[in-house]
Amino acid sequence: MILTPPYLLFIGDATDPLSIKMAKSVADWNPDACIGEYALPGCEVSTGLPAMTINEAVSQGANTFVLGFANSGGFIDEAWVPTIVEAIEAGMHVVSGLHDKLTNIPAVVEAASRIDRQLIDIRHPTTRFKTGKGIKRSGKRLLTVGTDCSVGKMYTSLSLTRALNEAGKKATFRATGQSGILVAGEGVAIDCVVADFISGAVETLSPDNDDDHWDIIEGQGSLSHPAFAGVSLGLLHGSQPDALVICHALNRSHMRGLPHYPQPTLEDVIEMTTKAASLTNPDVKVVGIAVNTSSVSEEEARQYCEDISQKLGLPCTDPVRFGVSNIVGAL
């Protein structure tokens, strides 16, 4: 899977900042790969990149049009097809992170074929995986796990990788979701793998490595989320993590998308996750807590992290506000 930057990030008519996570991630973590963003009327959010039209982006060198938003179910709305075709006809390849395949839309396939542009559905792995074996691999692994979906697992993983690299340590970010893949340029969209191969795919994603090398594996979903816990468990088993970082969003009233499901406590998540992880790595340890504290003031955030750290005996931080040096120190 070879992506061709720079990108024009298409954010549709999104109104929820969380729904443009893919566009925002690459804008934040790989800005050199981005030219700008393109929104439709009604869009209420932004990546922070300059807004521009398709033709403006192409004239500034954009090579690829990225569908950088998500929706429940991951469908490609009929209404977006003319925009996608317009982008192709302007000369761009198209990357999508949605479940629906670009390659299943006749008008899009026709346009791409006509002027020889690529359609890349990054959520649809083309590799043929094997089932998991659970055999111990060399090298060290850290997995970020969540109390819920969309709590900052990718951001935390990227922060940890960057901090380790800056400290002169060997570390590689292993992307398991479409945003991470767009940032890293490679990876496996683990929630799109056929269920039989979840842990096997992760074993492939994070192969044997040097003894002093850390794979920082991006977590997905949550063991406490009724829709996605299966993905999270397969990812946990395939990762064989030596270290876990628990990611949490402060002041959520319920599990994402499910108002009838309360959030689990950090203590419950620690207990449940270490127990499950011990199947493939009995030496697994939680090494830190990463909290998205954006719902409170910086002072309250600092106090919360201190309290949690005290209570659980673990480093706790908000990676965005305070960095991850305390967790990296504990590795």
The binder of its own copies chosen from 260, 282, 299, 313 (CB under 8 A):
260
- Does 91 engage in binding with its own copies (CB under 8 A)? no
Chain-centre distance for alpha carbon 271: 24
- Does 261 engage in binding with its own copies (CB under 8 A)? yes
* Closest to its own copies by CB, 276 or 296: 276
Residue 95: partners with Cβ closer than 8 Å, 6 or more residues away:
3, 7, 64, 65, 66, 67, 120, 122, 182
| Beta-carbon count within 10 A of 128 CB | 7
- Does 227 engage in binding with its own copies (CB under 8 A)? yes
Amino acid letter for position 162: R
Least distance (Å) between residue 281 CB and its own copies: 10
Least distance (Å) between residue 149 CB and its own copies: 10
* Closest to its own copies by CB, 50 or 226: 226
- Interacting residues with its own copies between 157 and 186 (CB under 8 A): none
* Closest to its own copies by CB, 49 or 266: 266
> If binding means CB under 8 A, how many residues of this protein chain bind its own copies?
43
CB-CB contact of 236 with 279 (8 Å): no
- Does 2 engage in binding with its own copies (CB under 8 A)? no
* Closest to its own copies by CB, 2 or 128: 128
The binder of its own copies chosen from 21, 24, 99, 248 (CB under 8 A):
99
Helix (H) / strand (E) containing 230: helix 229-239
Least distance (Å) between residue 274 CB and its own copies: 13
The binder of its own copies chosen from 60, 131, 251, 295 (CB under 8 A):
131
- Does 228 engage in binding with its own copies (CB under 8 A)? yes
Beta strand spans in 20-161 (E): 34-39, 64-67, 93-96, 119-121, 140-146
Residue 176, CA distances (Å) to 182, 199, 218, 301 in order: 10, 12, 6, 29
* Closest to its own copies by CB, 79 or 279: 279
- Does 234 engage in binding with its own copies (CB under 8 A)? yes
Least distance (Å) between residue 327 CB and its own copies: 26
The binder of its own copies chosen from 48, 53, 133, 267 (CB under 8 A):
133
Structure tokens belonging to residue 28: 């934040």
| Beta-carbon count within 10 A of 251 CB | 11
- Does 235 engage in binding with its own copies (CB under 8 A)? yes
Amino acid letter for position 262: P
- Does 72 engage in binding with its own copies (CB under 8 A)? yes
- Interacting residues with its own copies between 266 and 295 (CB under 8 A): 272, 275-276, 279-280
Amino acid letter for position 329: G
Amino acid letter for position 57: A
Residue 328, CA distances (Å) to 107, 183, 198, 270 in order: 49, 21, 28, 19
SS3 176: coil
**Which residue(s) pair with 196 in the sheet?**
none
The binder of its own copies chosen from 41, 126, 135, 211 (CB under 8 A):
135
**Nearest-CA neighbor of 316 among 167, 147, 131?**
147
Chain residues binding its own copies by CB under 8 A are 72-74, 99, 130-135, 190-196, 198-200, 223-224, 226-235, 237-238, 257-258, 260-261, 272, 275-276, 279-280
